[in-house]
Amino acid sequence: MIDYDLFCKIKNLNEQYGLTPSQIAGELAIDPRTVSKWLHEERFRQRSSSPRESKLDPFKNDILRMVTAHPYSAAQVLARIRENGFNGGYTIVKDYVRRIRSRPRAAFLTLAVARNRGAVLLLMPFLAALPAYVPFEMKEDIMLGDSGAYLLGGALGFTFAVYAPFPAQLAALALLLAFQAFCERHSFSRLVRCSNILRFLDELGRVFREEEEDEQEP
């Protein structure tokens, strides 16, 4: 089998230098019949190689049914198809079993999308109520209270426990335990007063309320 570069050399030696097929074959160290064949070709054509049939091909459907129905190992699959006449080796069976087991990844992706949609649907009532609730909370006209805080915290905790990935759950648990341990030894209110950012967030609603009262004064 020759490549395009060798084809060009054969054509060049014949057309430019007038060498015969035997002379070209001796110059390029290839068979004279190969030279004669390619001299009759007007252009280079890549040889198309037909796929080789594998010893495993007649047994692939049986393997697919076995692996789909039961969690057989490659060694168990090999033992079963050898009973039906397979005389190949273990490696080819192992590679095929591994390949067909890696196909259903799209199903796991679909499940992950469905889980995320479930989390959004569960929190939808709370998310929809936020735009109406937050302005009154910021002005201190209404307050969430213990009952509302328990309901909101329970919904958030349940959603996180059911739908969040396990590493995120561990990180959230560690954060909550660290926060609880801090509050056992220190005053969170004092921390708010000492932190400019936390104090700003805590007084944000009061600032809005004072601005509104200033606008209402004659």
Q: Which of 91-100, 128-137, 189-198 has the lowest mean pLDDT?
A: 128-137
Degrees to nearest 5, angle at CA 171 with 128 and 203: 50
Taking the CA atoms of 62, 65, 66 and 71 in sequence, report the sign of the dihedral they define: positive
pLDDT above 80: residue 120? no
Domain edges within the chain:
4-39, 57-101, 106-185
What single-letter DSSP state applies at residue 49?
P
- Highest mean pLDDT pick, 9-18, 42-51, 106-115, 201-210: 9-18
Residue 9 neighbours by CB under 8 Å, 6+ apart:
28
pLDDT digits 0-9 by tens, 136-169: 776 667 776 666 777 777 777 777 777 778 888 8
Give the single-character DSSP code of 59: G
Q: What is the DSSP letter of 54?
A: P
* Higher per-residue pLDDT: 16 or 105: 16
- Please report, for the chain, how many H helices and E strands are present, in that order: 12, 0
Structure tokens at 67: 């692996």
Using one digit for the tens of pLDDT, what is the confidence trace for 69-112?
888 888 999 999 999 889 888 898 988 888 887 654 444 444 44
